[in-house]
Amino acid sequence: AILGWHHRAPVRMCSRVEQSDQCARCLRQDEFRFAHQFHQDGNVPEALRRYMDQPHWLYLATFADGATKVGTAAEPRKQSRLDEQGALIATYLTKSPDGRAVRHLEDAITRGLQVPQTIRASTKLKALANLTDLSTASATHDRHVSRAADALAAMDTPAMLETWTPPAEGDRMRVVNSVRMLYPHDLRDGEHGFTVVSCVGTQVLAVLDGDDEVDYVLDLGPSRVAASRSARSPRPPPPSRTPSSS
């Protein structure tokens, strides 16, 4: 389980993860859970204050169905923060001197443009399973970037537009060459055998041994696998070949 942004506790010390990416014990000890309220409350842990004193970037990230969120990343995490989001397209909008300033900009974009700050993991996953091409997501992203740049200008904040370069590990996920389905089994139960062939964030594209006709989309985030006993064999019987419409 993750404590803050850089420390891990042994899984044997943790209880089953039911929601988010942490068990209840780790969540209680995570000083960084206050990050989104940092700019509204001056009473924060010292470790979080030091982290927020770094320069931060404001970004827009767009997912497979065109859903777009606004977010922030500290300078040392500029690339990795977006890498882990599961986005297909993203743009850095501007750079702020610290975490407090960037979160005020983030809130202003959310209020003014109705762009959320979170996208549910289940929404990201279903969109990847239903992806046909990137045209919708690309057009939506460009429109949001243009509106966000105008909103920043209205706040006397110059836009510093920079396109995020996605990791090559997600190339196959971004191009649909075969039938896709949501993996129908709960990773927290039983044993599973599959090969991961591509990933964006915690969402992965996987194939079963001897089955090259269907690609399965699943989430390997901590809340999905914390209690699983993964193994190469045995594996569940192959799911029905009817593509998911959810």
pLDDT at 246 over 50: no
Q: What is the pTM of this model?
A: 0.76
Which helix or strand (DSSP H or E) is residue 52 part of? Answer: helix 46-52
Pairing of strands 89-96, 68-74: unpaired
Sign of CA dihedral 226, 37, 123, 134: negative
What pLDDT score was predicted for residue 66? 96
Residues 37-73: tens digit of each pLDDT: 555 565 677 777 888 899 999 999 999 999 999 999 9
From the CB of residue 213, how many other CB atoms can be counted at a distance below 10 Å?
9
Q: Look at residue 81 and give its three-state secondary structure.
A: helix
DSSP 136-203: HHHHHHHHHHHHHHHHHHHTT-----EE----GGGHHHHS--SEEEE--S-TTSS----EEEEEETTE
- Cα 28 vs. chain centroid, distance in angstroms? 22
Residues 141-158: tens digit of each pLDDT: 999 999 999 999 999 999
Average pLDDT over every residue of 95-110: 96
The Cα 68–Cα 171 span in angstroms is 20
Tell me 59's DSSP state.
E
What pLDDT score was predicted for residue 85? 92
